[in-house]
Structure 1
Amino acid sequence: MELEPYRGELVAYCYRMLGSFHEAEDLAQETMLRAWKARDRYDSARASVRTWLYRIATNACLTALEGRARRPLPTGLGAPSDDPGAPLTPALDVPWLQPFPDARFDLGMRADLRLALVAAMQLLPPRQRAVLVLREVLQFSAAEVATQLGTTVAAVNSALQRARTVLADAGDPSGVAEPDDPQVRAAILRYARAFEAADVPALVRLLTDDAVMEMPPVPLWYQGSRDYGLFMRRVFDMHGAGWSTTLLSANGQPALAAYAPEPGGGHRLHTLQVFTITGGRVAHNVVFADPRVLGLFDLPRQIS
């Protein structure tokens, strides 16, 4: 029985359920181990290997989510800040949503992994979340999902309708351009050049009027190109010009790793920034500074 080809999609499924890449890898591994130990009891006449694996993974995720708080982004916790000079105090007690490092697995299109959608999924009760992902993303039938969850087709259809209602504000992922879209790539290249030069006016020109910046684990976020620009001025005043950036992707979205200049020369890894591009301009930037999150992307800590 070949299980390894399913590892990547199982990690992605567990990530959608949990909002944590670290935990998703652990639960995907647990799923594989459970399946291997139970291989003699697998009945191919009742379910495909893939369906069987997802039943195991779903049970593992639902158990892991018992009593857990949701994983938010700062935009999910309150109103935007109106003080670009506010203290940047991390809220280390909050289980923040983590990004998904695209390069770790070959999953094809990743629009259904985008940060806004995964953050919205965290608002759903765990079983509704499972129904939504299994039906809408993974395209299992209602009957298959009912079997996986030990419930009825009617209950699955009802849960799916409730989940769709909650996620209505998350938008349609089919309309989100991929990182290699020429317009998206051109916008990110312009942003990276302006960022490296610490050119705040150039950055502001690349933003939508209501652009959002948020910075987990700091529970602050800003809305509007004015406050975005004022905050970036503060960052560049602290660290100077001469930054370096590396382009990559996360959650099926364009991203860059930002390296701050060091006083003695070279650059130190500072943040990972994940973008939403709308009409060739930056509409949303989620800036991750947690060292554990940065470690997911196998980035060098220092560069020349």
Structure 2
Amino acid sequence: MVGVVRTDSPGPRKSPDAEFVAQTEALRHELFAHCYRMLGSAHDAEDLVQETYLRAWQALGSFERRSSMRTWLYRIATNACLNAVDAARRRALPMQLWPPSVPSDEPTERTDVPWLEPLPTYRIGGVSPEEAAIERESLRLAFVAMLQTLPPRQRALLLLRDVLRFTAAETAEILDTTTTAVNSGVRRAREQAIRAQPVSEPTEPERRRLLDRYVTAWEAKDVPAIVALFTEDAVWEMPPLAAWYRGAEHIGRHLADRCPVRPGQASLVPVEMNAQPAFATYTLEPDGSLRPAFLQVLDVSTEGIEHVYAFVDPSVFELLH
């Protein structure tokens, strides 16, 4: 296809580069989230968004505006993701790879596994409550982890149709295929997607009280008080360590026997990751400095804390800046 950006309409016009920036910059956050969902890595997503904008700028002269700028950018971004994911192993969480661990065993680090990464929560304005709910659920770690189990093209189909709500025709244009192929492909993706059960979320005051109790218990390293906030079959996992635990009792034994944080040493700073409550956890060192220890992302329900993703790789703290 050959085309140019028209400049002969009446009235003042922005220069092509200024117009391109104005039209595309508002889409940067949602393109970033799309690339993150596709790859399970915030760092890789940032690289692919940059690649998307570079490719779009280089191809701007051939954009005929038969589709919207948004659809065109998603076509570039999705294909960049498919190329990237073809060359990489899927990212995962420990509980997707191994059975639960025994708390008495020493946890081992696995640097040979490409681990799923968390994502700082961002806000997109101008969306309906239904769209905001879909956005939150589609960023949760459990959903992103599930996506990584799907073949890359099915992953893209599920996201484009069910999360981003592109039509079958728009999705076919993005993936350079037919609407028939889109409809059959997304049906297979929906059949293969093992969705986590919806979380019954507490009210905001209830959630705040629960999280306040969690911070108090952690900063005192009061293991019984921490464990009391978990559901009976809660999960604790801590990539890049391979070990993970199911059940409040096993989690408590791990925290008491293996976690090096001492009473009065922890400092929890509230953040939000993947549209979930989270805490950047630091330890107070003898010289008075705070050392990044691990980043906790929580699944919270009306029954208590159901899942803690404790990312112990210090590089995840880079995502907070």
Q: Give 1:29-40 correspondences, 5 Å limit.
A: 29-40=50-61
Task: Report the CA distance between 1:239 and its aligned residue.
Answer: 3.0
Q: Which residue is 1:70 aligned to? A: 90
| 1:22 partner amino acid | H
Residues 281, 153 of structure 1: alpha-carbon distance in 2 compared, 3 angstrom cutoff: same
Q: Which residue is 2:300 aligned to? A: 277
Q: Which residue is 2:185 aligned to? A: 159
Q: 1:146 touches 1:153 (CA, 8 Å); kept in 2?
A: yes
Consecutive unaligned residues of structure 1, counting only runs of 5 or more, are 299-304
Instruction: Say yes or no: does 1:26 pair with 2:47.
Output: yes
Instruction: Say yes or no: does 1:47 pair with 2:73.
Output: no
Larger of the two Rg values belongs to structure: 2
Instruction: Say yes or no: does 1:11 pair with 2:8.
Output: no
Q: Give 1:189-204 correspondences, 5 Å limit.
A: 189-204=212-227
Q: Which residue is 1:137 aligned to? A: 163
Structure 1 length-normalised TM? 0.91
Task: Report the CA distance between 1:176 and its aligned residue.
Answer: 5.9
For the residue of structure 2 that corresponds to 1:254, the secondary structure is: strand
Consecutive unaligned residues of structure 2, counting only runs of 5 or more, are 1-19, 126-131
Q: 1:134 touches 1:145 (CA, 8 Å); kept in 2?
A: yes
Task: Report the CA distance between 1:255 and its aligned residue.
Answer: 0.3
Q: 1:111 touches 1:176 (CA, 8 Å); kept in 2?
A: no
For the residue of structure 1 that corresponds to 2:242, the secondary structure is: strand
Instruction: Say yes or no: does 1:123 pair with 2:123.
Output: no
| 2:146 partner amino acid | A
For the residue of structure 1 that corresponds to 2:291, the secondary structure is: strand
Task: Report the CA distance between 1:186 and its aligned residue.
Answer: 2.2
User: What is the alpha-carbon distance in structure 2 between the residues aligned to residue 177 and residue 27 of structure 1?
Assistant: 33
Residues 276, 7 of structure 1: alpha-carbon distance in 2 compared, 3 angstrom cutoff: same
Task: Report the CA distance between 1:89 and its aligned residue.
Answer: 2.1
User: What is the alpha-carbon distance in structure 1 between the residues aligned to residue 85 and residue 113 of structure 2?
Assistant: 15
| 1:246 partner amino acid | V
Q: Which residue is 1:301 aligned to? A: none
Task: Report the CA distance between 1:53 and its aligned residue.
Answer: 0.3
User: What is the alpha-carbon distance in structure 2 between the residues aligned to residue 263 and residue 161 of structure 1?
Assistant: 57
Task: Report the CA distance between 1:86 and its aligned residue.
Answer: 2.1
Task: Report the CA distance between 1:181 and its aligned residue.
Answer: 3.0
RMSD: 1.7
Q: 2:278 touches 2:297 (CA, 8 Å); kept in 1?
A: yes
**Percent sequence identity over aligned pairs:** 48
Q: 1:239 touches 1:261 (CA, 8 Å); kept in 2?
A: no
Partner of residue 119 from structure 2, selected from 84, 96, 100? 100
Structure 2 length-normalised TM? 0.86
User: What is the alpha-carbon distance in structure 2 between the residues aligned to residue 230 and residue 263 of structure 1?
Assistant: 26
| 2:101 partner amino acid | S
Q: 1:240 touches 1:261 (CA, 8 Å); kept in 2?
A: no
Task: Report the CA distance between 1:164 and its aligned residue.
Answer: 1.4
